[in-house]
Amino acid sequence: MAQTPQDDALHEECAVFGVSLARHEEAAGVAYAGLLSLQHRGQEGAGIAVVSENNIICRKGEGLASELFPDGVLAGLPKGRTAVGHTLYSKAGGSEKKTAGPFVQEYLTGRIVAALSGSITNADEIRRELTDCGLQFDTSSDGEVVTSLIAYHISQERDLLSGAAKAAGMLEGAFSIVIASGSDKVAAVRDPNGFRPLCLGRSEAGAAVASESCALDSCGFEFVRDVRPGEVVIIENGKITEQGVKLEKRMEAGHGLCIFEFVYFARADSIIDGLSVYNARQRMGRVLAEEYPADADVVCGAPDTGLDAANGYSAESGIPLVSGFVRNQYIGRSFIYPTQIQRESAVRLKLNPLSASIGGKRVVFVDDSIVRGTTTETTVKSLKAAGAKEVHVRISSPPVRYTCYYGTNIDREENLIANKTGLDGIRRKIGADSLGFISIAGLKRACGECRLQFCTACYVKRSDT
């Protein structure tokens, strides 16, 4: 899907959160706190569904969780021990905007609610099959298709665990799913490749599942473990009661956890499949310094995901680390401009170079990625306008050359600068004095403590991975 002209970044495909409390009926508040911690994974929409007295009440809409659930609205949600939450990143630039989850679906003997993180590549085929069975759909969202498929198979299997496993075994693509039934059971499902992260936590109050461990931390749950690729786990009455059920589909060769989780998507305080995101980014900077050293006076990083890699670059190279920018905290997500001149000014309005630290200096500027090149070009110009003698750009991911088929929102290949030109061409385009991207081997080495293999299909053609 194409990105909007003012958007020169990669974006995730949503986040999910589920909670089952043993006694307290404060699940809505816990889910809200979880969504606030996962907001970085999707800012276009959010929703919370609460299981209350065998009923499921769902509230959702466009916007941030804090906008959709102010005190009065949050307090108005029903009391319950089980809740499911969702944050949405919509593929803005596609023909249709997706709808935030969770989605509620009734069947003959009950109802369920489900939230999806990821992208289902055979969603259209499943939609047609379910439509032929008499089901109707209100949105274009993959999440609604997944919820309907799960409800259908639960009605056939008469069991949440086996029904969820049967339905998930039919799905293709990248997905993490959280499901709750009217009986206060919660199921967590992760696709067989482990493309999307999903983890479990517990406390004296109950148990939870989240896209990232930072949400468990924020809600007072102790991290237990990651949901394994291809696994279905059941949480009931605040306890993890059943686990280890495997989906029928096997892992695709050459694919695994999206490596961009460590480069950009995940929050630095999360741990994913055994690897600290913060540690991984620090190591990326160290590897960058080994692969692309620079004769420079200072190092600075792009807030926020370039900062840890900049720290690592500084530590490995011995070049002092400085604060290169001042962030304007009062420019929100809807800060969108109608003209090219205004769009070019947007980066400086959000991130103003700090002349006191870079003026008259040769600067190593570390960022996480270059997509179309427009943002990096504007940043380099602003650094030089603020007095930098030279700007040496270092990128903590390899060149992004190919569209992702598994849910990450990357521009069309003809718009990706690395798909059209080589290293020196990119350097000239962005106006840098030198340019270096971490190698794929170097990135994997930086992330070597992760327990899973990685998907790197946005860097290398799928037939070559």
pLDDT per residue as tens digits for the range 361-370:
999 999 999 9
Q: How far apart are CA 40 and CA 14, in angstroms?
A: 9
The answer to whether residue 267 sits within a structural domain is no
The pLDDT tens digits for 161-195 are: 999 999 999 999 999 999 999 888 999 999 999 99
The answer to whether residue 258 sits within a structural domain is no
The pLDDT tens digits for 211-256 are: 999 999 999 999 999 999 999 999 999 999 887 777 866 555 567 9
Do 115 and 246 lie in one domain? The reply is yes
Q: Is 58 exposed, middle or buried (0-12, 13-18, 19+ CB in 10 A)?
A: middle
Tokens linked to 1: 């899907």
What number of other Cβ atoms are within 10 A of residue 23's Cβ? 11
The answer to whether residue 438 sits within a structural domain is yes
Choose one of 219, 236, 252: the last residue of a domain.
Answer: 252
C-alpha dihedral (198, 202, 207, 212), degrees to nearest 10? -20
pLDDT at position 463: 53
pLDDT at position 11: 54
Annotation marks residue 14 as catalytic: yes
Q: How far apart are CA 424 and CA 322, in angstroms?
A: 27
Q: Where are the alpha helices (DSSP H) in 69-132?
A: 71-76, 123-132
Please tell me the total count of domains within the chain.
2
C-alpha distance from residue 299 to each of 31, 122, 175, 374, 403 (Å): 39, 45, 37, 21, 31
Do 233 and 354 lie in one domain? The reply is no
**Amino acid identity for residue 157 in this structure:** E
HSE-CB at 11 with a 13 A cutoff on CA atoms is 24
Do 341 and 449 lie in one domain? The reply is yes
HSE-CB at 248 with a 13 A cutoff on CA atoms is 11
Do 314 and 452 lie in one domain? The reply is yes
User: Taken in order 244, 182, 123, 214, is the CA torsion positive or negative?
Assistant: negative
Work out whether strand 362-367 and strand 298-301 pair parallel, antiparallel, or are unpaired: parallel
Which DSSP category does 415 fall into? G
pLDDT at position 129: 95
Do 212 and 310 lie in one domain? The reply is no
Cα angle 369, 374, 376; round to 5: 50
Listed in sequence order, the residues at least 6 apart from 82 whose beta carbon sits closer than 8 Å to its beta carbon are 18, 19, 20, 21, 27, 50, 51, 180, 184, 185, 186
Strand partners of residue 441: none
We report the CATH number of the domain holding residue 369 as 3.40.50.2020
Among candidate residues 14, 199, 214, 455, the one labeled active-site is 14
Do 233 and 286 lie in one domain? The reply is no
User: Taken in order 25, 179, 100, 411, is the CA torsion positive or negative?
Assistant: positive
Do 162 and 307 lie in one domain? The reply is no
3-state helix, strand, coil in the chain (%, to 5): 30, 30, 40
Do 307 and 203 lie in one domain? The reply is no
Do 157 and 26 lie in one domain? The reply is yes
Do 198 and 73 lie in one domain? The reply is yes
pLDDT at position 12: 58
Helical axes 142-157 vs 123-132, angle rounded to 10°:
50
The pLDDT tens digits for 382-422 are: 999 999 999 999 999 999 998 887 766 666 777 888 888 99
Strand partners of residue 276: 271
Do 243 and 283 lie in one domain? The reply is no
Q: CA gyration radius for the chain?
A: 22
The answer to whether residue 1 sits within a structural domain is no
Q: Which of 38, 43, 96, 1 is nearest to 336 (CA)?
A: 43
Strand partners of residue 16: 86
Q: How far apart are CA 53 and CA 61, in angstroms?
A: 24
**Amino acid identity for residue 121 in this structure:** T
The answer to whether residue 4 sits within a structural domain is no
Which residue stretches of the chain have pLDDT < 50?
Answer: 1-6, 92-96, 333-336, 464-465
pLDDT at position 92: 41
Domain containing 189 equals 15-252
The answer to whether residue 104 sits within a structural domain is yes
We report the CATH number of the domain holding residue 214 as 3.60.20.10
pLDDT at position 271: 98
| Average predicted confidence (pLDDT) for the chain | 89
The answer to whether residue 353 sits within a structural domain is yes
What number of other Cβ atoms are within 10 A of residue 329's Cβ? 7
The answer to whether residue 245 sits within a structural domain is yes
C-alpha distance from residue 364 to each of 20, 154, 350 (Å): 47, 56, 20
pLDDT at position 91: 53
Do 215 and 286 lie in one domain? The reply is no
Main-chain phi, psi angles of 127, to 5 degrees: -60, -45
pLDDT at position 335: 43
